[in-house]
Structure 1
Amino acid sequence: MLMSAPPNLPPPDQLLQRAEEILKELEKGPWPSHVAELRKTQYPLRVYGVGLAARKSPWGPGAVKVAYVNTGVLSRWARDWVPGGGVEVHFRVFHTPGKFWKTDFIRKITKISRELGVGLIEVVGQTGAFVLNLTPDKAEEMVDALRSIGTDVGGSGDAIRALNACVGPALCEFALFDTLKWYAEFHKDKRVNDNIATPNYPYKFKIKISGCPLDCARANRADIGFIGVWEGAPEVDQAKFRELVERGVVDPVKLAANCPSGAIRWDAEKKELVIDGSKCKKSMHCIRTAFPAIKPGKNRKVAVVIGGGVKGRYGPKLGWFIGYLRPDQVKEAIDLTFKVIAPWEAEAQPKYRLGDYILVTGLDKFIEKAGIKLEGMPESIAKTPDDVPYAVLPKEERDMYLKLVEELKGKVGV
């Protein structure tokens, strides 16, 4: 569907002049400018500038076919109101676990980009993907070149998209399981790679792996996400914590007040931090504030969430929690992924993300269809009329909001 031209659009020459003025403004200042760097490449910067001047995306969807590549080619064409037109084509390319690159690989990929592409590489975009811009007439050469250096075109279209995992235990002290191993094991599975290469799903499907609840890989926004968590309360080294308090590094009263679930209490008389594990929501605010005096608990698990996504028929949504795996159960995680995919692939309407299909089907019914059984699954059948399956809020908070609604209804006479 073509996007209509913005209202009151100036004549083409004035629009181009305004676009160039904006681009020059973005090159000013002591900081590095993305516009100055883009000028060194063959990227259609003029189209980008026109979009800024018009305050509307200048790009529309396009299609570029590449022989022997069923998925992975993404293209955008300038809208018909953009003077001079333009095209932007790119591949998603397989990342290495943790996005660690050897210098030799960097030299090779840079050479490919300069000789066969536009000289522009996006290493970690919004989705965590590795994107390589190219010129359409050399697309097939680029595919061969990528494969010759040990990588390949990643997933796009209605397929499994390029996987994303945080750096995990390689650099992060908060990592609760080996995200790099999980990423590698997923990529080694033939089912995963077959469904990256061949689009046969109702819509795109994203798999993301985060080592802790800080969720740097944004697993909570994936069709299936795996997030490292722990059971109960965080561990507190009271001696180290008191030291931080005495040095003025941590305000214990403020730390307790900022706990989103009210699980933390500061005992000023004993100078001890008390955390109620039954209330802890694993926000990690206290851990970030007072690490290493406060650390995640030792009983580590991997929480599984499904149905997340920014775009879809019913708008953005976070994933539903459906249970836990152990950190050593990566094979089971891969099998679970395809259990989740099966009913959606068989029944969902075109362009329905997994989360959209779950909303239509109902989470209870979906789990039944997929045959999912995990540790810690929320109750799938309400035990009493007061219970709500898969409720986000505990019963006490639900009752509080229901009482508030009744009070407001009484005030407005409903």
Structure 2
Amino acid sequence: MSAPANLPPKEELLNRAEEILKQLEGGPWPSHVSELRKTRYPLHVYGVGLVARKSPWGPAAVKVEFLNTGVLSRWARDWVPGGGSEVHFRVFHTPGKFLRTDFLRKITKISRELGVGLIELVGQTGALVLNLTPETAEAMVDALREIGTDVGGSGDAIRALNACVGPALCEFALYDTLKWYAEFYKDKRVNDNIVTPSYPYKFKVKFSGCPLDCARAQRGDIGFIGVWEGAPEVDQELLGKKIEAGEVDPEKLAANCPSGAITWDKEKKELRIDGTRCKKSMHCIRAAFPAIKPGKKRKVAVVVGGGSKGRFGPKLGWFIGYLEPDQVKDAIDLTFKVIGPWEAEAQPKYRLGDYIMHLGLDKFIEKAGIKLEGMPVSTAKMPDEVPYAVLPKEVRERFLSFAQQLKGRV
């Protein structure tokens, strides 16, 4: 990347960078700049980037012996005075992001002695990231392995898995996300494909215990989401008490149901939920729990092809069927069925969802040999349908309806 136009001389550039950094330390709120000053992070590079209004970092590579993944590095561009480098290690984290205090003390010690004294906890995936310098990379790998963890989870491979807190803390958990996470990590195939990048692009596996989707499983290449069959359970007596106490407004509850599945009978003072129309948004459950709870017949919905980035832009996963809460081994096998055709045929830097968009969902399911309970009915072979359409007819009709609503407004 070329130097931005009209940059001041190097000494003035550094002075202006320091001025901006000091401004970010002002005010009554905590400042990330003040915290970064306590570390050995190359803060001047960050400041210069703010002055230039352009990224001061360029891509780089660091060779770490016997390590194929988990290392990210970048170097200051030529026009940044003083230069600088930044290397990241992504460290394995525990299911549900539970971290023991003794483990945190050990990680902090490693960061201070072998890193720059900076630890990042990434909110989206829960990844634990250590910043270091290239000279200490191999020593840090040894230190991490000594305390029972390792580097891993970047590059064109299976990334570090992500699970919500599940039954450990959440009353809404419909299957044991922490057990599924642990069983996936115990499988040699999963570990082999975390530590050795060999895919067209990254692949993310996520576990959410309920449709609230705290692990963002809808945005994973394959996601497992706890659901239930039919309508939520309603305890009419307990709900009545909540209504009398003013805790729940039944008419508002019905009005806010996205699928119109809820009706309120004023005379009988009874709330009804049509299970055939319920879309599992869980709005009613959050508003009236435990008077309204998920149904007892639990399932794990499987979605594929989600992602916030890709050749065709951000997308949510496609639903392809259900597993039972005890079918974790089948879920691992299914994951590699899904990976198979994508790994063999996808273009470089195609996420799974991009490949599915290119191929068509029906043909992808056929190629992967997927057979699940509750699979969506194929529309590609209907008389009025295009064989192997990129989007099923139902989805295309929804887009068309939305476009008609916008017609004349834009």
- Residue 76 (structure 1) aligns with: 74
Q: Contact 2:379/2:385 (CA < 8 Å) preserved in 1? A: no
Letter in structure 1 aligned against 2:292: I
- Residue 47 (structure 1) aligns with: 45
Q: How do residues 181-260 of structure 1 correspond to structure 2 at under 5 angstroms?
A: 181-260=179-258
Q: Contact 1:165/1:180 (CA < 8 Å) preserved in 2? A: yes
Query: Gapped runs of 5+ residues in structure 1?
Result: none
Q: How do residues 126-141 of structure 1 correspond to structure 2 at under 5 angstroms?
A: 126-141=124-139
SS class of match (1:90): strand
Distance 2:234 2:50 in 1: 50
Distance 1:55 1:122 in 2: 24
Distance 2:24 2:170 in 1: 34
- Residue 122 (structure 1) aligns with: 120
Q: 1:284 aligned to 282, 285, 294, which one?
A: 282
Q: Contact 1:379/1:390 (CA < 8 Å) preserved in 2? A: no
Distance 2:404 2:105 in 1: 64
Letter in structure 1 aligned against 2:384: P
- Higher mean alpha-carbon deviation, 258-267 vs 174-183, is at 258-267
Given the alignment of the two structures, is residue 385 of structure 1 paired with residue 364 of structure 2, yes or no? no
Letter in structure 2 aligned against 1:227: I
- Higher mean alpha-carbon deviation, 233-242 vs 141-150, is at 233-242
Q: Contact 2:379/2:392 (CA < 8 Å) preserved in 1? A: no
Q: Contact 2:157/2:201 (CA < 8 Å) preserved in 1? A: yes
Q: How big is the shift at 1:333?
A: 0.5
- Residue 147 (structure 1) aligns with: 145
Q: How big is the shift at 1:102?
A: 1.9
The alignment's TM-score, normalised by the length of structure 2, stands at: 0.92
SS class of match (2:239): helix
SS class of match (2:72): strand
Q: How big is the shift at 1:277?
A: 1.4
- Residue 14 (structure 2) aligns with: 16
Distance 2:26 2:45 in 1: 20
> Compared with structure 1, are the counterparts of its residues 79 and 248 closer, same or farther at alpha carbon in structure 2 (3 Å cutoff)?
farther
Distance 1:272 1:81 in 2: 70
Q: How big is the shift at 1:12?
A: 4.1
- Residue 360 (structure 1) aligns with: 358
Given the alignment of the two structures, is residue 109 of structure 1 paired with residue 107 of structure 2, yes or no? yes
Distance 1:348 1:251 in 2: 51
Q: How big is the shift at 1:391?
A: 5.6
Distance 1:195 1:174 in 2: 32
* Superposition RMSD in Å: 2.5
SS class of match (2:23): helix
Q: How big is the shift at 1:15?
A: 4.1
Letter in structure 2 aligned against 1:341: I
Q: Contact 1:128/1:217 (CA < 8 Å) preserved in 2? A: no
Distance 1:384 1:399 in 2: 20
Distance 1:162 1:240 in 2: 42
Q: Contact 1:378/1:390 (CA < 8 Å) preserved in 2? A: no
Given the alignment of the two structures, is residue 63 of structure 1 paired with residue 61 of structure 2, yes or no? yes
> Compared with structure 1, are the counterparts of its residues 362 and 386 closer, same or farther at alpha carbon in structure 2 (3 Å cutoff)?
closer
Distance 2:132 2:99 in 1: 21
Distance 2:49 2:239 in 1: 52
Q: How do residues 147-166 of structure 1 correspond to structure 2 at under 5 angstroms?
A: 147-166=145-164
Letter in structure 2 aligned against 1:164: N
Q: How big is the shift at 1:11?
A: 4.6
Q: How big is the shift at 1:103?
A: 1.9
Distance 2:98 2:405 in 1: 52
Distance 1:43 1:210 in 2: 35
Letter in structure 1 aligned against 2:311: R
Q: How big is the shift at 1:9?
A: 4.5
SS class of match (2:264): strand
Q: 1:297 aligned to 290, 295, 298, which one?
A: 295
SS class of match (2:279): coil
Identity fraction in percent: 79
Q: Give the total of aligned pairs.
A: 406
Distance 1:399 1:313 in 2: 23
- Residue 306 (structure 1) aligns with: 304
- Residue 375 (structure 1) aligns with: 373
Distance 1:139 1:189 in 2: 27
Letter in structure 1 aligned against 2:299: K
Q: How big is the shift at 1:26?
A: 2.8
Letter in structure 2 aligned against 1:385: D
